[in-house]
């Protein structure tokens, strides 16, 4: 598997020369300064690619080429937005960048309620607490009908948290929820978030599914024409949030979207952490079922609680059987190489990571420290080497 590393561009606190020392050979990045829906020019793509190649690395995956909110809302004349997306795909292909990760999560990207939970051995982790999510939803947003969507015991804890919380604590929770937009500089206060959520009022899961299918039908033919593989990132966490439907949360959702446009270029980013937070998701089974349409892999782990809370674990700890997932992906790589596929090696990156040692001294994006991800990459590299050796799979 191709070892890659997410890099947020020149302003990232982790520099390209440091990434090269991790052993990664590929970079996962995007042109985060370009607003959603605007065409990525060949010139801008070429400039970023040249910067990466000057450091002895290659631009392996785009993460993300964002989908405009209007497309998810089905709002107005969408053809200009589809046309811009198609043009960006053509421009990426012209510069030799042929794998594009995107997501279809409305309004928010990944969502946590704590960014620095202390770990027993030192360091910190990201965490999603169900009661803090409920407190924000019911008592800060005051979303109509929200209380009926949370378990009674979670709601009781949420009320106790809210009643005891200072204004600064509530502000910190809002900032933490907004931190899940790592490549975007769009942030909302509570009234602003209410207005954005109001736009989705009445939009059902089936509605959002239909809009995802419309998006795929609009852009996948161009991707296939120019040789770009699109790969959707699952919802994180894989459940509705703040009344927003989510439609890439489980095995059935993945099957639906892959069948919507049933070609190789319409694929999956297999994220073991996002899907792993779903209590009914069997990650090794999902990895095996959709291996042939998996174009990119995020490997991380979570430990789940009965109330719906979860915490980012070490890459080889937590509830996901990482060895079984890696084995499935390496088996697929072997199949592709035997078929003579030019792109048989599947890129992966160590996703998120604990803040360890002096990680806290850098101002990195939450979840993206240097040392914590380096530890994860080293652990995953060891698993891959061992599995490949035992099974005879190509690494």
Whether residue 27 has pLDDT greater than 60: yes
On whether both 369 and 297 belong to a single domain, the answer is: yes
- The pLDDT assigned to 186 comes to 65
**End-of-domain residue from the set 198, 229, 256:** 198
Based on the fold, state whether residues 306 and 240 are members of the same structural domain. Answer: yes
Residues 285, 212 within the same domain? yes
The answer on 187 and 97 residing in a single domain is no
Q: Judge whether residue 336 has pLDDT over 80.
A: yes
Same domain, 129 and 255: no
**In sequence order, what DSSP letters do the residues of 115-181 get, joined into one string?**
EEEEPTTSSEEEEE-HHHHHHIIIIIS--TTGGGGS-HHHHHHHHHHHHH--HHHHHHHHHHHHTT-
Residues with Cβ within 8 Å of 247's Cβ and at least 6 positions away in sequence, in order, are 104, 205, 208, 209, 212, 235, 253, 256, 257
Q: Which residues are catalytic?
A: 233, 271, 298, 351-352, 368
| Whether 104 and 161 share a structural domain | no
Over residues 238-291, the pLDDT tens digits come to: 999 999 999 999 999 999 999 999 999 999 999 999 999 999 999 999 999 999
266 with 362, same domain: the answer is: yes
What are the tens digits of pLDDT across the range 160-205? 999 999 999 999 999 999 887 654 556 789 999 999 999 999 999 9
Identify whether residues 105 and 123 lie together within a single domain: no
Residue at which a domain ends, from 138, 172, 198: 198
Look up the domain containing 337 and give its range: 2-110+203-391
pLDDT computed for residue 182 by the predictor? 52
Query: Do 167 and 289 share a domain, yes or no?
Result: no
Whether 37 and 66 map to the same domain: the answer is yes
The better pLDDT of the pair 182, 150 is held by 150
Final residue of a structural domain among 144, 176, 198? 198
Domain count, the chain: 2
State whether 325 and 229 are in the same domain. Answer: yes
This model's pTM is above 0.85: yes
The answer on 384 and 277 residing in a single domain is: yes
For residue 306, give the CATH number of its domain. 3.20.20.150
């Amino acid at each position: 598997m191709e070892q890659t590393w997410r890099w947020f561009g020149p302003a990232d606190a982790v520099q390209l020369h440091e990434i090269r020392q991790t052993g990664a050979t590929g970079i996962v990045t995007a042109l985060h300064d370009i607003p959603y829906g605007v065409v990525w020019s060949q010139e801008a793509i070429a400039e970023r690619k040249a910067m990466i190649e000057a450091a002895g690395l290659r631009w392996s995956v785009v993460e993300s080429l964002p989908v405009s909110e209007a497309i998810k809302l089905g709002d107005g004349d969408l053809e200009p937005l589809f046309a811009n997306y198609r043009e960006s795909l053509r421009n990426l292909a012209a510069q030799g960048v042929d794998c594009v990760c995107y997501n279809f999560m409305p309004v928010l990207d990944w969502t946590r309620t704590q960014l620095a939970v202390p770990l027993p051995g030192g360091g910190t982790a990201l965490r999603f607490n169900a009661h803090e999510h409920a407190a924000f939803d019911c008592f800060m947003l005051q979303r109509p009908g929200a209380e009926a969507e949370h378990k009674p015991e979670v709601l009781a804890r949420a009320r106790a948290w809210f009643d005891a919380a200072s204004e600064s604590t509530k502000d910190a929770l809002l900032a933490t929820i907004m931190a899940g937009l790592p490549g975007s500089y769009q942030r909302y206060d509570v009234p602003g978030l209410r207005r954005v959520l109001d736009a989705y009022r009445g939009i059902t899961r089936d509605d959002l599914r239909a809009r995802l299918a419309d998006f795929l039908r609009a852009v996948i033919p161009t991707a296939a024409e120019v040789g770009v593989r699109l790969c959707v990132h699952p919802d994180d966490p894989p459940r509705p949030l703040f009344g927003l439907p989510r439609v890439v949360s489980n095995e059935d959702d993945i099957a639906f979207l892959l069948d919507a446009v049933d070609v190789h270029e319409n694929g999956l980013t297999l994220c073991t952490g996002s899907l792993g937070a779903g209590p009914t998701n069997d990650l090794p089974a999902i990895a095996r079922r959709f291996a042939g349409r998996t174009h990119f892999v995020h490997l991380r782990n979570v430990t789940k609680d009965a109330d719906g809370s979860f915490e980012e674990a070490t890459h080889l700890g937590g509830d996901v059987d990482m060895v079984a997932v890696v084995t499935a992906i390496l088996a697929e790589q072997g199949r592709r190489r035997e078929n003579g596929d030019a792109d048989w090696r599947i890129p992966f990156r160590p996703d998120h990571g604990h803040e360890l040692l002096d990680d806290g001294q850098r101002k990195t994006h939450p979840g993206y420290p240097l040392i914590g991800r380096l530890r994860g990459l080293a652990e995953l590299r060891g698993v891959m080497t061992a599995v490949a050796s035992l099974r005879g799979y190509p690494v």
